[in-house]
Chain A
Amino acid sequence: MHRKIIDIWVGLFVLLGAAAVLFLALQAGNMSSLSFAETYAVTGKFDNIGGLKPQAPVKSAGVVVGRVGDISFDDKTYQAMVRLDLDPNYKFPKDSSLKILTAGLLGEQYIGIEPGGDTKNLVDGDRINRTQSATVLEDLINQFIYSKAADGKESSK
């Protein structure tokens, strides 16, 4: 009898722990790296991926439609090869374009996919050719300085 009561309390204790872990996993965390849902892979080549990391979201119109998978370097064309794992519920035309954008001012970088107008859709293993690299702050500053210098030359003519 005494043993039974102890077993009940221990069972409740372990259940409480399992409930706490479930709460942490479901309510406090996201399961993005645990989902085993089916995806189809599409690759894109970029001149500069900036701060893009694996598991970064792929968004279209602001909605997450996939995640960044592998990022590798192609030493024949000296470009970065990014593999995107897209949700099979969403189909994109074959001439869609990819851009690397930043969430907020200093936030994480993600890939924006913009649909094109092709009648045929992307399938697993396709390559997207229209890509725009990440904006690098130094290049922006250089551009600004050159344009200021060009303005100065024009006005002194």
Chain B
Amino acid sequence: MILRFLESAGATVRESIESLGFATRAFFNLLRFAPGAFRRPALISEQIHFIGNYSLVITIVSGLFVGLVLGLQFYVNLIQFGAEDKLGSLVALSLIRELGPVVTALLFAGRAGTSLTAEIGLMKAGEQLSAMEMMAVNPVQRVLAPRFWGGVIAMPVLAAVFSAVGIMGSYLVAVKMLSLDEGAFWSQMQAGVDVNRDVVSSVIKSFVFGIAVTFTAVFQGYHVKPTPADVARATTRTVVIASLLVLGLDFVMTALMFTQ
């Protein structure tokens, strides 16, 4: 009994390491063929449209609401210490450093990640990818690489839009609704946010998240079992794995960028 349990535990560990290695090899394979995708920029631009433009609405609306809520929550707590002038700085730093890249990446995984996985999975289930290989067209370069670049280019844009809209949302709540001093709001924010440290780190983070989420989505779609049931399971796997990757990478990058 115990032997069987140990055996299955060992098999699980071995399988996880094996799939990790497989995923790493697939990542380098994708990177190898990725630059070739620029020979057909129309494909990449089409993918940016599907991945980025169609995610704009959810990003802007979420950013607005997150900014509104942050403004309210910080105000209620800061007013107890008479420090409500710091509201702008706190909201901007929260959004630019952490919430912008991370929340955008999670929303991106849910919206664009699932659609990428489903699309590529259905292409595999419908044997389109095998047909491409028959015609000596590399499906990694033709199908995966443009979607990868689309996601990598769209993510930083979406994260920046999220942060900017969030800051404007908190401005609405703090200055218009709660009558905070407008000058104090912006000047404290400008004193607290350092472009080199915060804005650049935010862009780097969102770029890394873009790579992680898009690769997970594309990989799960490509290596799905060619049945509709497994395509559905693959989309769930994409969201779970991409979200965990994003949160883990966020911790690592925050530790690297923001500790002295």
What is the interface of chain A, defined by CB distance below 8 A to chain B? 3, 6-7, 9-10, 13-14, 16-21, 23-25, 27-34
B195→A17 contact, CB < 8 A:
no
**B 229-245 to A, binary, CB cutoff 8 A, 1 in contact else 0:** 00000000000000000
A13→B48 contact, CB < 8 A:
yes
Residues of B within 8 A of A9 (CB): 49, 53
Residues of B within 8 A of A24 (CB): 96, 160, 163-164, 167, 193, 199, 202
Task: Report whether over half of chain B's contact residues are helix, strand or loop; otherwise say mixed.
Answer: helix
Residues of B152-202 at the interface with A, using a CB-CB cut-off of 8 Å, are 153-154, 156-158, 160-161, 163-165, 167, 186, 189-191, 193-199, 202
| A27 and B156 contact, Cβ closer than 8 Å, known pairs A13-B48, A13-B56, A21-B203 | no
A33→B196 contact, CB < 8 A:
yes
Q: Which of A18, A19, A28 contacts B193 (CB 8 A)?
A: A28
A6→B198 contact, CB < 8 A:
no
| A13 and B194 contact, Cβ closer than 8 Å, known pairs A3-B42, A6-B49, A23-B164 | no
| A29 and B198 contact, Cβ closer than 8 Å, known pairs A6-B46, A14-B157, A17-B158 | yes
CA distance A66 to B100 in the complex (A): 32
Residues of B49-66 at the interface with A, using a CB-CB cut-off of 8 Å, are 49, 52-53, 56
List 16 A-B pairs, Cβ < 8 Å. Answer: A6-B45, A6-B46, A7-B42, A10-B48, A10-B53, A13-B53, A17-B160, A23-B164, A24-B163, A24-B199, A25-B199, A27-B190, A28-B92, A28-B164, A30-B195, A31-B195
Of the listed residues B92, B157, B191, the one surrounded by the most CB atoms of chain A closer than 10 A to its CB is: B157
B197→A33 contact, CB < 8 A:
yes
A7→B96 contact, CB < 8 A:
no
CA distance A72 to B160 in the complex (A): 37
CA distance A13 to B156 in the complex (A): 11
By beta carbon, the residue of chain B nearest A32 is B194
A10→B45 contact, CB < 8 A:
yes
Q: How many residues of B contact A (CB 8 A)?
A: 34
A31 to chain B, nearest CB (A): 5
A17 to chain B, nearest CB (A): 3
B52→A13 contact, CB < 8 A:
yes
A10→B190 contact, CB < 8 A:
no
Residues of A within 8 A of B46 (CB): 3, 6
Q: A16-B157, A30-B190 are in contact. List 7 more A-B contacts (CB 8 A).
A: A13-B52, A17-B156, A21-B203, A23-B164, A24-B193, A28-B96, A34-B196
A21 to chain B, nearest CB (A): 5
B157→A20 contact, CB < 8 A:
yes
A70 to chain B, nearest CB (A): 16
Residues of A within 8 A of B160 (CB): 17, 20-21, 24
By beta carbon, the residue of chain B nearest A17 is B157
A13→B42 contact, CB < 8 A:
no
B194→A29 contact, CB < 8 A:
yes
Residues of A within 8 A of B42 (CB): 3, 7
Of the listed residues A16, A24, A27, A34, the one surrounded by the most CB atoms of chain B closer than 10 A to its CB is: A24
Residues of B within 8 A of A32 (CB): 194
Residues of B within 8 A of A34 (CB): 195-196
8 closest residue pairs by CB, A with B: A17-B157, A20-B160, A29-B193, A20-B164, A33-B196, A29-B195, A20-B161, A21-B160
A7→B45 contact, CB < 8 A:
yes
CA distance A21 to B195 in the complex (A): 10
B45→A29 contact, CB < 8 A:
no
CA distance A9 to B54 in the complex (A): 10
CA distance A13 to B92 in the complex (A): 23
CA distance A19 to B163 in the complex (A): 12
**B 118-156 to A, binary, CB cutoff 8 A, 1 in contact else 0:** 000000000000000000000000000000000001101
By beta carbon, the residue of chain A nearest B202 is A24
